[in-house]
């Protein structure tokens, strides 16, 4: 066999040599080289246009260094083994923290041979419920639990229990669920001042809402404009669901830097990045990292000029933004369908809408766009099949829970919760401004307040000291920063005052002793930032995902 392979290889080589010797081939080779060079130059020039010459060069250098390091490492077995051992060590330490099984603790590795009685299951549920030692009611958590009140939870649970067996895939069996879903969409459309042509879908969460919008614009551009290499131009601060959409749907993501002072996406660079493959622009209101609202009207004008989609990611602020004015706060401009050029908006009912986790709404300005979100197949032996979004079967109970929360709070309830949450956020914002050594990122106008430490104080060291005080805040990177997304729980009690005090103490502690804060956050993010080989970070992160299903 090897000889046969060798002879085939020889023959192929000979053919290639002969082909190369043909007159004209040299010309062709030059032409191909010219095309490759041209494509490289175009791409490089675009990077310079979008990122500016300095950043483009730095990023090119970083990317080349990364490839070089990975290549070199993989060629030197000793180096590769060293890296692999280190990754395994890190993953093991993650597992140790996450997978804590007490000696003698019952673990269900396989189905119990004999099923448990109802009381026994309830007892077990109680045991699992008591796991963990984070007191989320104390309000020291950024986001995660947006309301948490017992009465609201009881109401949602009641809604669940009435609709436990339902599935919106079968509207003829569960007409009540169909109606509730339609009403959830309608209520959110009204909140966002949609025109009569407006429409939407309930999805499983913000990520799915964003994925659906990208898919709709991709298929629409392919159908109507023959775009086969679609691109989307979005702020670098937009939610990672857009990275996911790139990975799932093959729509190239063009990240545009933010203005370092305002935290908003740099509009000039957005304009430069648009080309005939661009299917959509997007902006956040507000974004997850810094709670900053992009200049939606300006982005929408650009999108309109080019005849492309404009998505507003209102996932986070979905149930704050529409009530800001009535709560006594304001944005400098509208971010909803009143803004001409806005063609879709995503809103998470399961955040400040206080619905149970697993629901969000994606809205479109006209039905034509939503059509491209749908999936329909007419030839399946299982029947003519259609579903509006990614899932097939869906939990009707979640729709009932969402509907119950929305009609329970109503406009008055959401205005009141918006007022409380905003007062807390603005108190934190004002307090952070006064702490020497700490600065805000941009001018946050909604519920997320993001800040960083000024040199020589290390932001991640501050994060470590705060986590030692039982704070569960979000740690950010590029640039290093910390944020808190205020919720009803932050507004209860005096969490805001506590945070400001702990933050001030952290800063003065580090001033006295620069080593004071060095802990897990500084170790993880500080080290991660200094590792040029990003595949190592990705591998450790995959280990984290693996740990989720370890017992
Ligand atoms: C939460 C969030 C999303 C979606 O996240 P899910 O976890 O899928 O609900 C999208 N955009 C922003 C700005 C968000 O904060």
pLDDT in tens, 466-501: 999 999 999 999 999 999 999 999 998 889 999 999
pLDDT of residue 2: 46
Q: Please state the pTM of the whole predicted model.
A: 0.90
Which is the closest atom of ligand 1 to the Cα of 360?
9
> Closest by alpha carbon to 283, among 260, 306, 265, 301?
265
209 C-alpha to center of ligand 1: Å? 9
315 C-alpha to center of ligand 1: Å? 5
Which is the closest atom of ligand 1 to the Cα of 316?
15
Residues 6 or more apart from 244 whose CB is under 8 A from it? 207, 211
Confidence band, pLDDT 50/70/90 cuts, at residue 28: confident
Task: Please tell me which of 129-138, 349-358, 457-466, 509-518 the model is most confident about, judged by mean pLDDT.
Answer: 349-358
What is residue 386's three-state secondary structure? strand
Strand (E) positions, 412-491? 438-440, 448-453, 474-476, 481-485
The pair of structure tokens assigned to 188 is 């959110």
The pair of structure tokens assigned to 383 is 């029947």
Q: Determine the average pLDDT of the residues in 189-201.
A: 98
Ligand 1: residue whose CA is nearest its atom 1:
316
Residues 6 or more apart from 240 whose CB is under 8 A from it? none
Ligand 1: residue whose CA is nearest its atom 5:
206
Which is the closest atom of ligand 1 to the Cα of 210?
10
The Cα–Cα gap between 129 and 216 comes to 40
487 C-alpha to center of ligand 1: Å? 15
pLDDT of residue 31: 76
pLDDT of residue 197: 98
316 C-alpha to center of ligand 1: Å? 6
479 C-alpha to center of ligand 1: Å? 20
Ligand 1: residue whose CA is nearest its atom 9:
206
- Reported as a single tens digit per residue, the pLDDT across 61-116 is 777 777 777 778 778 888 888 888 888 888 898 898 889 888 999 999 999 999 99
Q: How far is CA 448 from its chain centroid?
A: 15
243 C-alpha to center of ligand 1: Å? 13
Confidence band, pLDDT 50/70/90 cuts, at residue 5: very low
CB within 6 Å of ligand 1 — which residues? 205-207, 239, 241, 284, 287-288, 313, 315-316, 348, 360
Confidence band, pLDDT 50/70/90 cuts, at residue 342: very high
Percent of the chain with pLDDT over 70: 95
Residue 352, preceding peptide bond in cis (omega within 30° of 0): no
288 C-alpha to center of ligand 1: Å? 7
Ligand 1 mutation target, pool 205, 206, 213, most atoms within 8 A of CB: 206
356 C-alpha to center of ligand 1: Å? 14
> Which of 420 and 87 is assigned the larger pLDDT?
420
The Cα–Cα gap between 71 and 56 comes to 22
The Cα–Cα gap between 45 and 478 comes to 23
Q: Are 274 and 304 in contact (CB under 8 A)?
A: no
Ligand 1: residue whose CA is nearest its atom 3:
206
């Amino acid at each position: 066999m090897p000889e046969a392979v060798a002879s085939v290889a020889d023959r192929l080589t000979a053919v290639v040599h002969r082909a190369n010797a043909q007159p004209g081939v040299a010309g062709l080779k030059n032409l191909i080289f010219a095309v490759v060079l041209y494509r490289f130059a175009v791409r490089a020039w675009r990077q310079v246009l979008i990122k500016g010459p300095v950043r483009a060069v730095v990023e090119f250098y970083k990317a080349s260094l990364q490839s070089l390091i990975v290549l070199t490492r993989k060629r030197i077995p000793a180096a590769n083994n060293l890296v692999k051992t280190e990754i395994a060590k890190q993953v093991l330490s993650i597992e140790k923290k996450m997978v804590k099984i007490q000696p003698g603790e019952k673990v269900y590795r396989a189905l119990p041979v004999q099923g448990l009685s109802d009381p026994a299951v309830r007892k077990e549920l109680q045991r699992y419920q008591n796991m963990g030692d984070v007191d989320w009611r104390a309000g020291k958590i950024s986001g995660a639990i947006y309301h948490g009140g017992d009465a609201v939870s009881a109401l949602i649970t009641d809604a669940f229990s009435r609709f436990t067996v339902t599935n919106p895939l079968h509207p003829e069996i569960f007409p009540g669920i169909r109606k509730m879903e339609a009403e959830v969409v309608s209520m959110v459309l009204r909140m966002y001042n949609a025109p009569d042509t407006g429409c939407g879908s309930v999805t499983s969460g913000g990520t799915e809402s964003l994925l659906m919008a990208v898919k709709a614009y991709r298929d629409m551009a392919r159908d109507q404009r023959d775009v086969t290499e679609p691109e989307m131009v979005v702020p670098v601060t937009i939610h990672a669901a857009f990275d996911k959409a790139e990975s799932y749907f093959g729509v190239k993501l063009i990240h545009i830097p933010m203005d370092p002072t305002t935290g908003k996406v740099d509009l000039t660079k957005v304009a430069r990045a648009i080309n005939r493959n661009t299917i959509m622009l997007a902006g956040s209101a507000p974004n997850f990292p810094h709670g900053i609202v992009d200049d939606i009207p300006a982005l929408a004008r650009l999108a309109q000029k080019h005849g492309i989609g404009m998505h507003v990611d209102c996932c986070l602020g979905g149930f704050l933004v529409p009530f800001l004015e009535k709560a006594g706060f304001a944005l400098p401009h509208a971010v909803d369908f009143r803004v001409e050029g806005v063609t879709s908006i995503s809103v998470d009912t399961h955040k400040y809408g206080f619905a149970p986790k697993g629901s969000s709404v994606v809205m479109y300005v006209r039905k034509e766009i939503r059509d491209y979100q749908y999936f329909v197949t007419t030839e399946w032996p299982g029947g003519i099949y259609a579903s509006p979004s990614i899932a097939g079967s869906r939990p009707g109970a979640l729709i009932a829970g969402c509907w119950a929360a929305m009609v329970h709070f109503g406009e008055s309830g959401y205005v009141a919760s918006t007022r409380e949450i905003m007062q807390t956020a603005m108190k934190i914002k004002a307090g952070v401004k006064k702490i020497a050594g700490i600065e805000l990122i941009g001018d946050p106008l909604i519920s997320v307040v993001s800040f960083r430490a000024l040199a020589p104080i290390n932001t991640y060291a501050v994060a470590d000291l705060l986590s030692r005080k039982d704070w569960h805040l979000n740690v950010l990177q590029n640039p290093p920063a910390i944020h808190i997304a205020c919720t009803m729980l932050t507004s209860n009690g005096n969490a805001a005052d506590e945070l400001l005090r702990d933050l001030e103490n952290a800063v003065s502690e580090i001033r006295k002793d620069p080593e004071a804060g060095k802990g897990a956050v500084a170790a993880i993010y500080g080290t991660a930032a200094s590792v040029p080989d990003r595949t190592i970070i990705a591998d450790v992160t995959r280990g984290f995902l693996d740990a989720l299903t370890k017992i």
